[in-house]
């Protein structure tokens, strides 16, 4: 972690290599190596290591109560794949960028996501069946009326199949579709407030297990910036 925080990704990878050679079961080292490899754009090497998050208790990966066969790249034509959300809201949004790849191949796709993202994902991925489920739910009610499911996969494992090289990342103008009524509301509200430019910021982020103290500041520490008169906050 010290090497990683210093930005020494080569040193991080070399140290993890040595530790894993001595003990292949050091899953925390495997996850650290995955993150360092991702920083270097070495995706094909990184994603298999990233699977170690699933066996670490402090990785924010919550095992889900689904017992369907794990999808390992089998043909999806005519089959149904259940993709379930994991980690935080930002992670779900980021990994959802792979869903168009799934929808292009699968006969059907069921997406289990945070209830806070359900409406957004339904607009953004109309080809999927979207259900909002808390990750702590042990007996998701939607399963009672679900169609036959052939495979399951964690959302964060999609890049292992669809983002192995830099060329696999599609060029697009966005994959999320906002609520048009809210867009119109905020356009009207901001336009009525005058011509000065608007700026937004988040001063709090993460969870205790994802180093919230390093990703947050006290609101009063922004006072001098918030009093700047050339922009609206």
Burial classification of residue 67, based on how many CB atoms lie within 10 Å of its CB (0-12 exposed, 13-18 middle, 19 or more buried) = exposed
As a whole number, mean pLDDT of residues 59-81 equals 94
pLDDT tens-digit series, residues 97-117: 999 999 999 999 999 999 999
CATH 1.25.40 intervals, the chain: 2-55
Closest by Cα among 74, 76, 70, 23 to 51? 70
For 2-55, CATH number out of 3.30.750, 3.30.310, 1.25.40, 1.20.950 equals: 1.25.40
For residue 46, the number of C-alpha atoms closer than 13 Å in the C-beta half-sphere is: 21
CATH 3.90.550.10 intervals, the chain: 80-168
E strand segments, 43-126: 80-84, 108-113
pLDDT tens-digit series, residues 148-168: 999 999 999 999 999 999 999
* SS3 assignment for 162-183: HCCCHHHCCCCCCCCCCCHHHH
pLDDT tens-digit series, residues 24-48: 999 999 999 999 999 999 999 999 9
Tokens of 187: 């356009």
Cα separation values, 44 from 34, 47, 163, Å: 10, 6, 8
Domain 80-168 has CATH 3.40.50.300: no
Tokens of 189: 């509200």
């Amino acid at each position: 972690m010290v090497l990683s925080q210093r930005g020494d990704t080569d040193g991080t990878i070399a140290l993890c290599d040595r530790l894993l050679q001595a003990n292949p079961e050091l899953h925390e080292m495997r996850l650290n190596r995955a993150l360092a490899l991702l920083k270097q754009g070495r995706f094909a090497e990184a994603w298999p290591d990233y699977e170690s998050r699933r066996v670490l208790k402090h990785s924010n990966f919550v095992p889900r109560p689904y017992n369907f066969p794990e999808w390992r790249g089998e043909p999806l034509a005519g089959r149904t794949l259940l993709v379930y959300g994991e980690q935080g809201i930002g992670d779900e949004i980021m990994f959802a960028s792979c869903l168009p790849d799934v929808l292009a191949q699968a006969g059907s796709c069921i997406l289990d996501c945070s209830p806070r993202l359900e409406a957004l994902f339904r607009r953004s991925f109309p080809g999927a069946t979207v259900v909002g489920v808390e990750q702590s739910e042990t007996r998701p009610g939607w399963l009672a009326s679900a169609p036959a499911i052939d495979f399951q996969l964690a959302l964060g494992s999609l890049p292992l199949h669809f983002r192995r090289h830099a060329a696999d990342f599609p060029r697009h103008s966005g994959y999320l579709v906002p609520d048009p009524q809210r867009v119109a509301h905020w356009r009207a509200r901001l336009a009525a407030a005058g011509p000065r430019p608007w700026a937004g910021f988040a001063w709090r982020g993460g969870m205790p297990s994802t180093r919230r103290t390093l990703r947050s500041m006290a609101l009063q520490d922004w006072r001098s910036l918030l009093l700047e008169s050339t922009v609206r906050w």
